[in-house]
Amino acid sequence: MAKTHRFFSHHAHEFLRVAACTPVASVGDIAANAAATIALAKRGHAEACDLLVFPELNVTSYAIDDLHLQDAIQRATDAALAEIAAATAKLKPVLLVGAALTKDGRLYNCAVAIHRGRILGVVPKSYLPNYREYYEKRWFTSGYDVVEDDIAVAGQIVSFGIDLIFTASDLPHFIFHAEICEDFWAPIPPSTYAAMAGALVCCNLSASNVVIGKSRQRMLLSAAQSDRAICAYVFSAAGPGESTTDLAWDGQGMVHELGELIAESARFENDPELLVADVDCGRVRQERMRNGTFHDTARAEGLAPGSFRRVTFEAKPDFADVGLRRDIRRFPFVPNTPEKLDADCYEAFNIQVTALAQRVVAAKAERLVIGVSGGLDSTHALIVAAKAMDRLGRSRDHILGYTMPGFATSEGTKSNAWALMRALGVAGDEIDIRPAAEQMLADMRHPFADGKPTYDVTFENVQAGLRTDYLFRLANQHNGLVVGTGDLSELALGWCTYGVGDQMSHYAVNAGVPKTLIQFLIRWCIRTDQYDAETDRVLEAILAQEISPELVPAGADGALQSTESKIGPYALNDFFAHYIVRHGMAPSKVAFLALKAWEDASRGRWPRDFPAAARTAYDLPTIRGWLEKFLFRFFTISQFKRSAIPNGPKVSAGGALSPRGDWRAPSDGTAKPFLDELDANLP
């Protein structure tokens, strides 16, 4: 059911609804093409689109050869544009239609922007293909030097040139540019300049005949242009109905954003298609802000702000709930297709192994020292260490694994720890930390020493601290490096014991890996036979247990100390961390995205092997509750822990938290502005 609060509107979060339109063309039948354009515009309006991109020369159809030069065709084109403008005067979307227009005895291949009955402006094609199957220079004049000009079209005098950017006066993120087909096959597409001058959405009206391999090439160019020009890119190629005299057409529509494919059309279809997608102009804006090279290039190219003419119009947004036409992955760090997941795991695992091996060599360390709890993090650190030793040609017994049971260590995790160490062939040992912990707690006059069940932070950290103490001294004793096991998610939350505790190590091999990815990395290791069958069996057993720090004894009901019931589901925490750290998004937008990703467990793809029983949904109050906790932990109470973390490799493009890398922040900051923003903008 649609909700009325502004929070539920995609426009409130800087999304823009675009569509690549594929009408069925009628060769040279301008009235039919105008009718097809109007019909799709009405569909676009019904689907709440802001911007509709039609193919190149769709008013006449593209492949009409010398007919382009006929007066009758040109007059009919002008009349059709007037008709399209009139018929769409009450519709919401801006239309970019393709038409050949004359000025001063020259014919230009143009994109015509039309909105609510008004022709906003006309952009001529800069680069006319005139090689192999193309001979556009036979009819058209290149528009590459047309600037500061105007043109008469459909009874209106409007801005004309390649120096136009279209901007909504009442929706600040609605800023777009148009170019035409070959323009983006050029070494420097006009959209590169438009993006540097501020366009967030770049559009391409195309008539690109299909040959084997062509769709892949267009896909590559569109992805690359959106990545290089830091923009959203909407591409619409002519399709069914175009003249097949000597060529064929497939109607490829695509929407890319920052190199990522957001939506793609069916190809070789007989019916008209409207490929609708919501592009995230806020993400584009943020990305430009944090990429100085983009602005340096603009300055190097002499593109001062204002170097393009801005054509303004009123979008009249109503901030209604029209849903979100875009897949938001539940796990930003975990791809939901098997191929991409495998590829990412291969990268992550090898980054970790290579980085650790290099540090062993550089530090002239003979051994690696690891506290092996039987939990996910230390398991992963241990298998990475084993592979690093294999790569260095050293035997695995150069890894000293210690299981160090404390007051709450369960038999299950301890036996898993031993089974794993034996299966891998590392040098295992056991140190019972309880006598030392009892001594320490007694020395401190902690109530536990008097038999009282006081399981406070001190009680927890005494154990975490003693384990770290043992590991560092064992490293001295054996010329070893202590391998840190803490992961990226724990660093984001400050879920570790500072200094004399698991926050410290000689090399934090997991610090760049989020918790939600670790289980998939372990699964990938099993699937790709990185280790032997017995190791795989133990790894499966470890994957099956709940995440617990095991610092506090189980309750009377036997329930384990559950980490996620205390700090929130890692699935949500990783989601929050990704959008806040990597994309700088406001908490209300992060909540909106989390809702779209998580509100319906039956929608969208789950990552491969994600257990069916764990496929949960989260509603807005739940998301909000955990987000508030996350914001408090992340901004107020944990930065001092990150400001002093040991070295470790960045793994995910989704962000890292080293103070020497992606994330630098004050250790005495506050979450207040973030909590206030959430409070002000959520229903």
Ligand X SMILES: Nc1ncnc2c1ncn2[C@@H]1O[C@H](COP(=O)(O)OP(=O)(O)OC[C@H]2O[C@@H]([n+]3cccc(C(=O)O)c3)[C@H](O)[C@@H]2O)[C@@H](O)[C@H]1O
Ligand Y SMILES: Nc1ncnc2c1ncn2[C@@H]1O[C@H](COP(=O)(O)OP(=O)(O)OP(=O)(O)O)[C@@H](O)[C@H]1O
Ligand Z SMILES: NC(=O)CC[C@H](N)C(=O)O
Annotated binding-site residues for L-glutamine read 131, 208, 214
Binding-residue pattern over the window 381 to 410 for ligand X, x denoting contact by CB under 6 A: ------------------------------
The answer to the question of residue 433 lying near ligand X (CB under 6 A) is: no
| Footprint (CB under 6 A) of ligand X, residues 501-530 | 501-502
The answer to the question of residue 53 lying near ligand Z (CB under 6 A) is: no
Buried b (16+ CB within 10 A) or exposed e, 614-628: eeeebebebbbebbb
CA–centroid distance for 123 within its chain: 32
Q: Which of 404, 436, 481, 651 binds ligand Y (CB under 6 A)?
A: 404
Q: Which of 177, 467, 578, 624 binds ligand Y (CB under 6 A)?
A: 467
The answer to the question of residue 462 lying near ligand X (CB under 6 A) is: no
d(CA 7, CA 588): 8
d(CA 42, CA 22): 14
Q: What is the dihedral of CA 537, 543, 548, 551, to 10 degrees?
A: 20
Binding segment for ligand X (CB under 6 A), chosen from 173-181, 430-438, 496-504, 515-523, is: 496-504
CB of residue 605 to ligand X, shortest distance in Å: 30
d(CA 603, CA 555): 36
Binding segment for ligand Y (CB under 6 A), chosen from 156-164, 437-445, 546-554, 589-597, is: 546-554
Tell me which residue of 342, 353, 379 sits closest to 537, measured CA to CA.
Answer: 379
| Footprint (CB under 6 A) of ligand Z, residues 110-129 | 129
Q: Are strands 232-237 and 201-206 parallel, antiparallel or unpaired?
A: parallel
The answer to the question of residue 667 lying near ligand X (CB under 6 A) is: yes
Going by the DSSP 8-state scheme, the letter that residue 633 receives in this structure is I
**The entry of ligand Z, ligand Y, ligand X, none that residue 668 binds, CB within 5 to 8 Å by partner kind:** ligand X
CB of residue 172 to ligand X, shortest distance in Å: 37
**The entry of ligand Z, ligand X, ligand Y, none that residue 250 binds, CB within 5 to 8 Å by partner kind:** none
Structure tokens that stand for 398 in this block: 């150069």
- Please, which residue, 339 or 668, has the CB nearer to ligand X? 668
Structure tokens that stand for 293 in this block: 């090279």
Counting every residue written for the chain, the total comes to: 683
The answer to the question of residue 577 lying near ligand Z (CB under 6 A) is: no
How many Cβ atoms from other residues are within 10 Å of residue 546's Cβ?
A: 12
Residues 6+ apart with CB under 8 A from 638: 491, 492, 493, 494
The answer to the question of residue 485 lying near ligand Y (CB under 6 A) is: yes
Sheet with 94-103, side-by-side order of all strands: 149-153, 156-160, 118-124, 106-115, 94-103, 51-53, 15-22, 273-280
The answer to the question of residue 208 lying near ligand Z (CB under 6 A) is: yes
Structure tokens that stand for 345 in this block: 């795991």
Residues 6+ apart with CB under 8 A from 366: 398, 478, 479, 480
The answer to the question of residue 185 lying near ligand Z (CB under 6 A) is: yes
The answer to the question of residue 519 lying near ligand Y (CB under 6 A) is: no
Strand partners, 313: 168
d(CA 605, CA 337): 8
Structure tokens that stand for 593 in this block: 């995205």
Residues annotated in a binding site: 131, 208, 214, 371-378, 461, 485, 490, 495-498, 641
The answer to the question of residue 403 lying near ligand Y (CB under 6 A) is: yes
3-state secondary structure of 308: coil
Q: Which of 190, 375, 465, 587 binds ligand Y (CB under 6 A)?
A: 375
Residues designated as active site: 56, 125, 181
**The entry of ligand Y, ligand X, ligand Z, none that residue 371 binds, CB within 5 to 8 Å by partner kind:** ligand Y
- Please, which residue, 233 or 626, has the CB nearer to ligand Z? 233
603 φ, ψ to 5°?
Answer: -100, 145
Tell me which residue of 138, 88, 144 sits closest to 116, measured CA to CA.
Answer: 88
Is-contact 426 400, C-beta < 8 A?
yes
CB of residue 633 to ligand X, shortest distance in Å: 9
Q: Which of 273, 550, 574, 628 binds ligand Y (CB under 6 A)?
A: 550
Q: Which of 405, 494, 514, 654 binds ligand Y (CB under 6 A)?
A: 405
d(CA 495, CA 638): 8
| Footprint (CB under 6 A) of ligand Y, residues 566-625 | none
- Please, which residue, 250 or 628, has the CB nearer to ligand Z? 250
Residue type, 513: V
Locate the DSSP E strands across 86-140: 94-103, 106-115, 118-124
**The entry of ligand Z, ligand Y, ligand X, none that residue 181 binds, CB within 5 to 8 Å by partner kind:** ligand Z
Q: Which of 497, 516, 658, 681 binds ligand X (CB under 6 A)?
A: 497
3-state secondary structure of 168: strand
| Footprint (CB under 6 A) of ligand X, residues 581-640 | 640
The residue number with the shortest CB distance to ligand Y is 375
- Please, which residue, 121 or 486, has the CB nearer to ligand Y? 486
The answer to the question of residue 223 lying near ligand Z (CB under 6 A) is: no
d(CA 172, CA 11): 10
| Footprint (CB under 6 A) of ligand Z, residues 624-663 | none
The answer to the question of residue 181 lying near ligand Z (CB under 6 A) is: yes
Strand partners, 98: 111
Q: Which of 377, 593, 598, 620 binds ligand Y (CB under 6 A)?
A: 377
Which helix (H) or strand (E) segment holds residue 395: the answer is none
- Please, which residue, 8 or 127, has the CB nearer to ligand Z? 127
Going by the DSSP 8-state scheme, the letter that residue 115 receives in this structure is E
The answer to the question of residue 123 lying near ligand Y (CB under 6 A) is: no
The answer to the question of residue 207 lying near ligand Z (CB under 6 A) is: yes
Binding segment for ligand X (CB under 6 A), chosen from 20-28, 110-118, 260-268, 455-463, is: 455-463
Is-contact 587 567, C-beta < 8 A?
no
Q: Return the CA Rg of the chain.
A: 30
CB of residue 466 to ligand X, shortest distance in Å: 12
Residues that bind ligand X (CB under 6 A): 457, 460-461, 464, 490, 494-498, 501-502, 549, 551, 563, 640, 667-668
Residues in the site for ligand Y, rule: CB under 6 A?
A: 371-373, 375-378, 402-406, 409, 467, 485, 490, 502, 547, 549-550
Q: Which residues bind ligand Z (CB under 6 A)?
A: 56, 129, 134, 181-182, 185, 207-208
